[in-house]
Amino acid sequence: MKMDKRSWMLLEPDPIEWQLPDDLRARDQFKGADCGWVNQMRPFIQHYSKPGETVLDPFCGFATSLLAAGIEGRKSIGFELDENRVTISRERLARHQIEATVVAGCIEDYPAIASVDLCITNMPYFGCQWQPDTLSSSQLYRQPSYADYLRKAHTIFYQIKKILKPDSFFIVMVENLTLEGQLLPQAWDISRILSSLFIAREERLLCYQKPATTLPAYATETDRSHEYALIFQNTRQTVCLESTQKELERITQHGFHFSLIGSFAQWRDSSSKNQREPSDADIVIASDQQQLDALCHYFLGNGYMLSVWSGSIMAPISIQQLRGYHYLRAERIDLHGRRVSIDISLENTI
C-alpha cells in the first residue's frame, strides 16, 4: 500500500508468510497478542526513508517493523527488553533471511549507537498485565503508575532524539485506552511528550476491519478498531523574530530583570542575519520566588501557556521545582500563527 493524502488508512491483514508463525507465537507469554502487522509499517517505511537507510524500532517486540524494513530494502535495528521476544525476533528474521540487529535492552542504555534515518514503533501501552522475565525498571509494560509510564517514555524519546538524524521522522503508533472503565488518553499524552522534543507534522488514523457489534443505548465503549500513527520530525520550529523581540522589550518595560542568552541573543547581536533563526529566546532570571511569581503572572495574563517538559502548568511554580525541570517555557501563538517561545531558567543552574 502506497501512502496517499487521505488521513486514514484501512489496513489489510498480512499475508500468511509475513505473519508471526504459530510456533513462535506459542512461545510468547501473551501468545503474540500485541504483535503488529507488516502492512501497518511498510507504507511509512517506504514513504519516510530511502532504500539502504537505517530504520530503528526502540520497542521492537517480535521484529515486525524490522521485517517490514527488510522487505523494503532498509537496514534496521531494534531494541527489546524481553529476552524471550529477542530470541523469537531473531528466529523470525532469520527465517526470512533478513539481516537486522536486535539488541536485548533498552535504548536508554546504549547512548553510543550510530544515528538512524527513521524511527518507527508501536508504543507499549500502559496497564498491561506483564509477568516480568526481566527486572528492568525501563520496561514500559510494567510501570507502576501512569505518571511513571509517561516519565519513562519521555526519557526514552529524549534518547531517540539524540540518535535520529536531523530532519528525520519519528512515527509512533498508539491508541487511547480504557482501563477499569476509565478513558486513558494515552495517544494524546504521548503526543504531548513527543511535541516537547520533535515537531508534530501529522496524524493518520489506522483502521482495522472488525465485525461491528451493537452498542447498548448510552454505552460509550467502542471496539477500538483504530489507532493513530503520530508523525513527528526531528527538526526545529522557529519563532517569530519580530514578535519575540517586541515581547522581550515589553517584559523589560514591565520592570523584569533578565539576561538574554543562547541563539536568540546571538541572532539579535549578529550583524549578518544569515545565521540559523532561533527556535526560542532563553532568558535567565535571579533565583527569586517573588520575581518568578510575577513573571508567571505576567505571561498568564498575556495569552501565554506555561509548561515544563511540555506539561502545562498553572503558576505558581516554586524555585526548587524550576531547578529540577531546568527551565519553564512560556509560549504564545497569536491569531496569525506567529509563535513566541521564551524559556526561563534560573541563575547558576545552567
Q: Is 98 or 261 the residue whose CB approaches ligand SAM more closely?
A: 98
User: Can you give the binding site for ligand SAM, defined by CB under 6 A?
Assistant: 34-36, 59-65, 79-82, 85, 106, 122, 124, 138-141, 156
What percent of the residues of the chain are helix, what percent strand, and what percent coil, each to the nearest 5? 35, 25, 40
Q: Is 9 or 140 the residue whose CB approaches ligand SAM more closely?
A: 140
C-alpha cell at 73: 530494502
DSSP states along 147-180: HHHHHHHHHHHHHHHHHEEEEEEEEEEE--EEET
Closest approach, Cβ 160 to ligand SAM, in A, equals 11
Q: Is 46 or 64 the residue whose CB approaches ligand SAM more closely?
A: 64
C-alpha cell at 33: 497478542
Cis peptide before 132 (omega within 30 of 0): no
Closest approach, Cβ 326 to ligand SAM, in A, equals 23
Contacts of 82 (CB under 8 A, 6+ apart): 133, 134, 139
Q: Is 37 or 327 the residue whose CB approaches ligand SAM more closely?
A: 37
In this structure, the dihedral spanned by the alpha carbons of residues 157, 162, 168 and 169, taken in order and rounded to 10 degrees, is 0
Closest approach, Cβ 87 to ligand SAM, in A, equals 12
Q: Is 77 or 292 the residue whose CB approaches ligand SAM more closely?
A: 77
* Nearest residue relative to ligand SAM (C-beta): 61
- Whole-angstrom Cα distance, residue 259 to residue 283? 6
Q: Is 132 or 185 the residue whose CB approaches ligand SAM more closely?
A: 132
Pairing of strands 339-346, 328-333: antiparallel
C-alpha cell at 283: 532568558
CB 40 within 8 A of CB 206: yes
Closest approach, Cβ 38 to ligand SAM, in A, equals 9
- Whole-angstrom Cα distance, residue 152 to residue 115? 21
Query: Which of 188, 35, 241, 208 has the alpha carbon at shortest distance from 124?
Result: 35
Closest approach, Cβ 56 to ligand SAM, in A, equals 11
Q: Is 79 or 198 the residue whose CB approaches ligand SAM more closely?
A: 79
Closest approach, Cβ 127 to ligand SAM, in A, equals 13
Closest approach, Cβ 140 to ligand SAM, in A, equals 4
